[in-house]
Structure 1
Amino acid sequence: MSLPDFEGWAIFASVVEHRSFSGAAQAIGMSKATVSKAITRLEHKLGTSLFHRTSRKLTLTESGAALAERAQRILAEAQCAEEDARHAASTPSGTIHLAAPLTFGLSHVAPAIADFLIEHPAITIDLRLSDAKVDIVADGFDIALRIADLPDSSLRARRLVPVRVHIVAAPAYLDRYGTPDHPSGLSEHRCFGYSNVPRPGIWHFRNAAGEEISVRIAGPLQSDNGAAMLPALRAGLGIARLPDFIVDDDIAAGTLVPLLPDWATEAVALHMMTPPGTLRPERVTLLMDFLTQRFRAREGR
């Protein structure tokens, strides 16, 4: 029985993370030729190609995509084994790759990261902010924060706090177009759409009596970022469906007015996503626990 090519699997995981042989080689301190030979050796052993190689682009094959998650797990478990073997008093170090939504990342995650780094100066964080859904395994993230109603997934998810979603408009808009008193009336209004959802033109509602309704909306603005809608909202150009961390200050100031108080939109929450598997480096566990405590402590505020 031949032993698994653990080095090849680890190098494959690094190439997946960095999306290039040269980037992986630089990250792990090997030559590009050594990385290429390791991938070729692993492909020969597996009997399948892991990458489509061109002079300009490197992409995973179907087999490579299917094996990327296992490679990341092998690498993560090896890193955990090495870290656990070190002295218990050693200072956690290394890089944590973290993904978060853009607006929530700027307003809440970035300040939390600053406080975390003060406590753990030997740790570095690669923070990527985007409202687009990321592939945690293929993109090499240790943690991803998502605000959504999550479908079933092989990823591990920790629900942190609920996120309230409001239907809002400026007083100037309501003076001009009237205030809808039922969700069905929104189809006659100018509503802004958020494009990073499967059906941006459909809003779902439910009231305390259990009545449900879906409304098709349309309007002059669609964006992949909720905060980008605020100037048009404040100018009285339409109605939007936005989370509390974007609109709470405007609601408190009276520049935006919450609508349809007896109706709730789809329930969403802030989730912390991690790759499959229970083993992870200590530095990642530290950040997970820090963010969990931080956001749950501020839930009431």
Structure 2
Amino acid sequence: MDRFETLTAFVAVADQRSFAAAARALAISPPAITRAIASLERHLEVRLFHRSTRAVALTDDGAAFLDRARRILIDLREAEQIVMGGRSVPRGQLYLTAPVMFGKLHVLPALSALLASHEGLSARMMLIDRNVRIVEEGIDVAVRIGTPADSALRVVAIGSVQQTIVASPEYLAEHGAPASPSELKDHRCIIGSGVRAGGAWAFGPKGETIIDVAPRLTVNTVDATIAAAEAGLGLANLLSYQTAQAIAAGRLVRVLAHDAPPPMPVSLLFEGGRAAMPAVRLFIEAMKERARQRAWA
């Protein structure tokens, strides 16, 4: 293996925590992975992994080397994509991440159109309801909802979403609708997990009024939160794009709309160098166009 292939093997073993799993992920033989790591350790004159019959773990030297190895591979991949695709034709792999439901509803359609139009482009999309480390994971573009905290990254705002407190018509018929946020203490509430997890619900023109709700039910996905609300188990705090279909179909009703906090921005985050990649530029434009069509308003 050359130096870059050896680094790829090292990162794969670190990610998979297994030589065999890394070999499967890279579609090479386990002995080849073992030889690559041994060669790298000889070259660096350090031990990168603690090995046992049950587990593989990074040594302190290995952990210190991992971030730099990732950075080298990311820079190489970015340079290859720019050269292979010129500055106008998207080629290679585009790696995206987004919240689960937003990704399914709004990122996947935009990505599908790009893939249909550009034969040389492939994509990898990680849908997860938590913020991941963009640089360390080698992600080209991340879709974020809420104020971005990654100050070193470039940010393109593409729209906003609104907090919505919802319940089923059956629940409201039985328990009544809260007239003010303070009345939530008298209601059954559903709490979800993820970035917006927790029982502190914000209200008011600046989000200055915080109501601590006691959950009657806690679930770990947005889909489950919506399903629980539709089943009449209580009030749920969700975002407008998550509830739009259920509200339009009459399965959920929005309450406390006049007390909602300010809208939350929807942004695309990426490293500055990735702006030169044709696939990144086209994806950003595709998401801007979807926002102009008020796809998630």
Please, what TM-score do these two structures have when normalized by structure 1? 0.78
> How far did 1:82 drift?
3.5
Q: Residues 152-191 of structure 1 correspond to what in structure 2 (within 5 A)? A: 152=150, 154-191=152-189
Q: Which residue number corresponds to residue 235 of structure 2? A: 239
Match of 2:102 in 1: 104
Residue 189 of structure 1 contacts residue 219 of structure 1 at CA under 8 Å; is this kept in 2? Answer: no
| Aligned position for 2:290 | 295
Residues of 1 paired with 2:183 and 2:76: CA distance? 57
Distance 2:163 2:6 in 1: 46
What letter matches 1:292 in structure 2?
A: M
Query: Of 196, 211, 214, which aligns to 1:218?
Result: 214
Q: Secondary structure at the match of 2:273?
A: coil
* Corresponding residue for residue 80 of structure 1: 78
Q: Does 1:260 align with 2:260?
A: no
CA distance 1:90–1:178, shift in 2 (3 Å):
closer
Equivalent-residue separation in structure 2 for 1:271 and 1:55 (angstroms): 45
What's the CA shift for 1:191? Answer: 0.9
Structure 1, 40-49 or 93-102: larger mean CA deviation:
40-49
Retained in 2: the 8 A contact 1:142–1:284? no
TM-score, normalised to structure 2, is: 0.79
Letter in 2 for 1:256: L
> More displaced, 238-247 or 145-154?
145-154
Instruction: Supply the distance in 2 between the matched residues of 1:115 and 1:179 (Cα, whole angstroms).
Output: 42
Cα distance in structure 1, aligned partners of 2:272 and 2:129: 25
Cα 1:211/1:133, change in 2 over 3 Å: closer
CA distance in 1, matches of 2:192, 2:294: 24
Specify whether residues 191 and 17 from structure 1 end up closer, same or farther in structure 2 by C-alpha distance, changes over 3 A only: same
Equivalent residue pairs, number: 294
Secondary structure of residue in 1 paired with 2:204:
strand
Larger helix proportion of the pair: 2
Q: Aligned AA for 2:199?
A: G
Partner of 1:141: 139
What is the CA–CA distance in structure 2 between the aligned matches of 1:89 and 1:139, rounded to whole Å?
24
- 8 Å CA contact 1:148–1:269 kept in 2: the answer is yes
CA distance in 1, matches of 2:16, 2:138: 8
1:229 aligns with 2:248: no
CA distance in 2, matches of 1:281, 1:65: 30
RMSD: 3.5
